[in-house]
Amino acid sequence: MIAHVALPIPITKTFSYTVPSLWQPYIKPFVRVLVPFTNRRLTGYVVGIEEEDDKNLKEIHDIIDIIPLIDHTMASLCEWASRYYITPIGMVLKYAIPASLQPDRYLLIHKQKGGSIKLEGISLNRACKLYKKETIFKYLEEGAIELRDIFTGEPFFAPLIQSTGTTEPEHVLFIGPVQSRLEYYLTHISKAFKEGGNVLMMLPDYSMTGTYFYNLLNKEFPGRVYWYGTAIKSKARMATYFHARHGKGMVILGNKNCVFLPIAHNSLIIVERHEEDDYRNEEGFRFNAGQVALQRAAIENIPVIAGSASASVELFNRVKNGKFKIIERPLTPFKEYHEIVTKKYRSPFGAIPEEFIDTVKSGVERKERIAIFTPRRDYSSLIQCLDCRKILRCHVCEGIVSYQKKKDGILCSSCNTLSPYARKCPYCGSAFLRFSHIGVEYIEGLLKEHFKDYLVMGVTAETSKEVMRFFEKHKETIPLILVGTHTLSKLYGIKVERLILFGWEELLKIAGYRAEEKSFHILTNLLDALTPQELYIFMDKKAAINTAPFFNMKAFYEAELRKREEASFPPYGRIFLIEVEKKHSLSGAAIIKKIMEEEGIKDNIIGPVVQKKKRLKWKIIVRGKGERLTQALFRLYDLPGVRIEADPLSI
Mark which of 561, 584, 610 sits at the end of a domain.
Answer: 561
Instruction: Verify that 355 and 501 share a domain, yes or no.
Output: yes
Q: Total structural domains in the chain?
A: 4
Distances 158 to 17, 31, 78, 230, 245 between C-alpha atoms, Å: 24, 10, 17, 23, 9
228-237 as b/e: b if 16+ CB within 10 A: bbebbeeeeb
- Note the pLDDT tens digit of each residue in 137-174: 999 988 899 999 999 999 998 776 555 555 789 999 99
The yes-or-no verdict on residue 251 having pLDDT over 80 is yes
How many Cβ atoms sit within 10 Å of the Cβ of residue 635? 16
- Which amino acid type is present at position 294? L
Of residues 608, 352, 632, the one with CA closest to residue 502: 352
Instruction: Verify that 487 and 554 share a domain, yes or no.
Output: yes
Mark which of 55, 78, 99 sits at the end of a domain.
Answer: 99
Of residues 407, 400, 389, the one with CA closest to residue 510: 400
Instruction: Verify that 539 and 592 share a domain, yes or no.
Output: no
Non-local (6+) Cβ contacts of 412 within 8 A are 394, 396, 397, 399, 400, 401, 418, 419
Non-local (6+) Cβ contacts of 117 within 8 A are 111
Q: Cα–Cα distance between 195 and 160 in angstroms, integer?
A: 18
CATH number at residue 598: 3.30.70.260
Distances 332 to 190, 270, 442, 524 between C-alpha atoms, Å: 26, 23, 31, 11
Bigger pLDDT: 371 vs 650? 371
Q: Cα–Cα distance between 358 and 153 in angstroms, integer?
A: 63
pLDDT at residue 349 in the model: 38
Instruction: Verify that 353 and 496 share a domain, yes or no.
Output: yes
DSSP lists the bridge partners of residue 146 as 110
Instruction: Verify that 187 and 308 share a domain, yes or no.
Output: yes
Residue 631 lies in a domain: yes
Residue 404 lies in a domain: no
The average pLDDT across 21-32 equals 93
Instruction: Verify that 467 and 340 share a domain, yes or no.
Output: yes
Residue 250 lies in a domain: yes
Instruction: Verify that 368 and 475 share a domain, yes or no.
Output: yes
* Secondary structure in 3-state letters for 279-308: HEECCCCCEEHHHHHHHHHHHHCCCEEEEE
HSE of 245, CA atoms in CB hemisphere, 13 A: 22
Instruction: Verify that 189 and 292 share a domain, yes or no.
Output: yes
Mark which of 99, 119, 140 sits at the end of a domain.
Answer: 99
Instruction: Verify that 279 and 215 share a domain, yes or no.
Output: yes
Q: Cα–Cα distance between 512 and 551 in angstroms, integer?
A: 21
pLDDT at residue 620 in the model: 82
Residue 491 lies in a domain: yes
Residue 403 lies in a domain: no
C-alpha Rg value of the chain to the nearest Å: 27
HSE of 286, CA atoms in CB hemisphere, 13 A: 15
Instruction: Verify that 455 and 530 share a domain, yes or no.
Output: yes
- Note the pLDDT tens digit of each residue in 545-603: 999 999 999 999 999 999 999 988 999 999 998 887 766 555 666 776 776 676 666 66
Instruction: Verify that 590 and 549 share a domain, yes or no.
Output: no
- DSSP-based helix, strand, coil % in the chain, nearest 5: 35, 25, 40
- Note the pLDDT tens digit of each residue in 412-468: 987 788 999 999 999 999 999 988 889 999 999 999 999 999 999 999 999 999 999
DSSP lists the bridge partners of residue 502 as 538
Question: How do beta strands 610-611 and 409-412 pair?
Answer: unpaired
CATH number at residue 452: 3.40.50.300
Non-local (6+) Cβ contacts of 369 within 8 A are 477, 478, 479, 480, 482, 494, 495, 496, 497, 498
Residue 396 lies in a domain: no
How many Cβ atoms sit within 10 Å of the Cβ of residue 565? 13
- Note the pLDDT tens digit of each residue in 593-644: 776 676 666 666 666 555 555 556 777 888 888 888 888 889 888 777 788 9
Residue 135 lies in a domain: no
Instruction: Verify that 194 and 255 share a domain, yes or no.
Output: yes
Range of the domain at 614: 574-646
Q: Cα–Cα distance between 537 and 544 in angstroms, integer?
A: 10
Residue 157 lies in a domain: no
CATH number at residue 77: 3.40.1440.60
Q: Cα–Cα distance between 306 and 93 in angstroms, integer?
A: 26
